[in-house]
Amino acid sequence: MASGSHRLDRYFSKTLGINRRDVKALLAQGRILIDHQPAADAEQLVDEFSHIAFDERVLQLKLPVYLMLHKPIGILSATTDPRHPTVIDLLQRADKGDLHIVGRLDRGSSGLLLLTNDGRWSRALMAPKLEVPKVYLVTVQNPLTPDYVKAFSDGMYFAYEGITTRPARLEILEERLARVTLVEGRYHQIKRMFGRFRNPVLALHRTAIGNLPLDPALAPGQSRELTPAELKGIRG
C-alpha cells in the first residue's frame, strides 16, 4: 500500500474488494490479524509497514529499512542515472530499489548518507522546523580567519533565492580545515558560503546527522543498518 495511514476497513475494501461494512463481521470472527494480534476495530489505522493477515494468509509484510552509507567521492546521490554510478549501485540488497536518499551529498563530496524506504521518517528528519544539524569537515584552498566564524554565524544573503541562510557554526580546526554545522541544506550552500571569501572548497565530508556520527568502521562504499538506539537518538 502507499505511504501513509489508512483505516482497516478501507484497506480491505481496496485490497480485497470486501464491503467496508462487512469488515466488522470478519473482525468479530477473529479472522484479521494486525501485527500478529487479532484486530478489533474497523477504524484501526494501518500503514505500509503493518503486518496484515486474513485467514492465515499474509496480505502485507514490509519491514522498514534504515541504512547509513559511507558515500565515496565520485558517486551520485541518486537512485538511478544513465551515465554515472549512484549510491544505490553500491548496495548489495534485494530491496535496494525501494530505497530513497535522506538528504543528498554532491558528487564530489563524501561521508554520511542515510537511505530508507520510510518516507515519513525521512521527511521528518529533513523538516527545517526540527533543525536537525548536519556536520561537515571542510578543506579549503586559502587560510581561514575569525571573519569566517562571524559571517557563518550571522547568515549570508543569497540573491538568487532571495533568502538569508540560517546561523551556521564554523570551527577552525587547522589553517585550511574547518568543521561546519548547518541546520539547513541549501543548494551547494557550504561551497557558496566559502565562495563569499573567494576561498574554493577542496574537500567536503559529512561526519554526522543529528546525534548520529558516521561509523568509522565503514570504508567508503560500505553501509549497514541503523541500530534501534541510533534510530531513537538521531534527533536527540
Task: Give me the active site residues, please.
Answer: 106
Evaluate the CA torsion angle 163, 170, 142, 200 in order and state its sign. Answer: negative
CB 138 within 8 Å of CB 194: yes
Burial group, residue 156, by CB count within 10 angstroms (0-12, 13-18, 19+):
middle
Among residues 62, 61, 83, 63, which one has the least CA distance to residue 74? 83
What one-letter code names the amino acid at 134?
K
